[in-house]
Homo-oligomer: A and B are copies of this chain.
Amino acid sequence: MEGRGKEECMRQIEGGVTAAKGFEAAGVEAAVKYRDRKDMALVYSRVPCRAAGTFTTNVVKAAPVLWDKKLVEESPFVQAVVVNSGIANACTGKQGMDCCKAEAECAGRLLGIPAMAVLVASTGVIGMQLPLDRIQAGIEKLAAAKSDTAEAGLNAAKAIMTTDTVPKQIAVQTTIGGKTVTLGGMCKGSGMIHPNMCTMLGFLTTDVNISRELLGKALREDVVDSFNMISVDGDTSTNDTLLILANGLAENEEITAEGAEYEEFCRALHFVTTWLAKKMAGDGEGATALFETKVVGAASKEDARILAKSVICSSLTKAAIFGHDANWGRILCALGYSGARFDPENVDLYFEGKSGKIHIFSKGVACDYSEEEATGILSDPEVTVLADMHMGDAEATAWGCDLSYDYVKINADYRS
C-alpha cells in the first residue's frame, strides 16, 4: 500500500464484507437459474445501518434498482442485502417489483427486521421473472447460514458471480478518531460493464460512525474516479448497483463534517473501490490482461477522464492488446475521437508493464523503439498505456481489459 506518515495507519487485512464489526454474510445454492453452485448471498448487520447507494443511469432500470433507490432515500435505516445471480429481474414489469417486495418481506420476517430495511439486488439474464418460491427457499437457507466468519464473506462473494472467474473481495483497516475502523467489500462483473454512476454489483460494509449525508457524499464522489473509470464492453447495465452499509460499531465519534477524519475514511473507501474496480476490469469477460490507461498533462480533469476511458473502450485497441501487438496508432486514434481537444503533434505515448517501459510516440511520429521489447511488455498480465497530453496538469486513470475470442464465445450464447 502506498503512502507515508499518517497514511501508514491504513492497512489491508484478510476478508471482505464480514471484516467490519457486526457484519455477517452467507452464500448458498438456491438454483435460481444456475445449478450446483452458490447463487444467493446475504449481507447482514446485527445493528441498524446508515446506507448510501449509487445506481445505473440507464433509462431501463431493473426492479431491484428501483427498490433500493427508494429504500436508500426513504428508509430510516437498513440492515440487510439479499442478492441473487442468474436472473437480473430487469424488464419484468409489475411482477418484478412485486418480487422485490416479497423478497424483502421474507428476509425481514426471518431476520426479525422491517422489510423496509432489506435491500435487494439481482444480476444475470434480462427479461426473465425470478422464481419466487426458490428465492424464498434460498432466503431461508441464507438466514440459517449467516455468520461473521471470513469464510461466510467469501461464500457471499462467490454467490454473486456470473461470468466472473474469481470472487472479488477486500478489506482494510485504519484509525479514525482514535478507533480502529474497518471497511470491506465485494463486487462482481464481468460483462455489461461500463458503469455510469456505479458498477454492476458492489457491496461495501463498514463499522465507521458517519452521518448519512457524508456517507452518501463520500460514495458519490468516489465512484467518479473508481468504478466509473472501468469498462469491459461499453454496455451500461440495467442493474448497476453499489451499496455501502455503515453500522457505527467502531465507536469513533460520529463524522458529521468534512475534515481529517472524513478524509481518512474517503481514503480507505477509495483504496477499496479502486482495488475492486481494477479486479473487475481485469476479470472482464474473456480477458487475458488488465489494460490500464493513465492520462497526464490533460487540460482538465474531465478531459483526462474522457481521454483515458476512450482508450480502454476502443475495441481495436483491446484486440491489439490481446494480440500483444504494439499498434499504438489505434491508441492515438481513440484519444482523437474522444471529444477532448489536444494537439496530436504534442503527445507522448508510452507502454508500461512489469517488464519495462518504452517511449513509442513523440512529436507527431513514432519513436525508434524495439518491437520485440514492446511485444514483451504487451505480454504482461497488466499493461499500462501512459499518455502525456502536454496541455495542463490534470490526470486520470481508467481500467479495462483486452478483447479476446472468449468474450465473443461467452456472449454469443450467454443465455443457454
Contacts and interface: CB of A to CB of B under 8 A. Distances in A.
A92 interface: yes
Contact of A411 (B88, B323, B337, B414): B323
A224 interface: no
A363 interface: yes
Contacts of A191: 316
Contacts of A340: 59
Contacts of A314: 234-235
A90 B127 CA distance: 45
Contacts of A234: 234, 313-315
A59 B336 contact: yes
A363 B319 CA distance: 39
Contacts of A114: none
A366 B333 contact: no
B333 A192 contact: yes
B415 A332 contact: no
Given A92-B365, A235-B334, A333-B238, A404 B413 contact: no
A62 to B, nearest CB: 10
A9 interface: no
Interface in A389-414: 403-405, 407-414
Given A316-B233, A332-B60, A93 B323 contact: no
A328 interface: yes
A299 interface: no
A344 B101 CA distance: 21
Given A91-B361, A192-B316, A238-B329, 7 more contacts: A60-B344, A88-B329, A90-B329, A235-B314, A235-B334, A235-B337, A319-B407
13 contacts: A57-B337, A60-B333, A60-B337, A61-B336, A92-B364, A92-B365, A196-B337, A233-B315, A235-B334, A235-B337, A236-B336, A327-B414, A405-B405
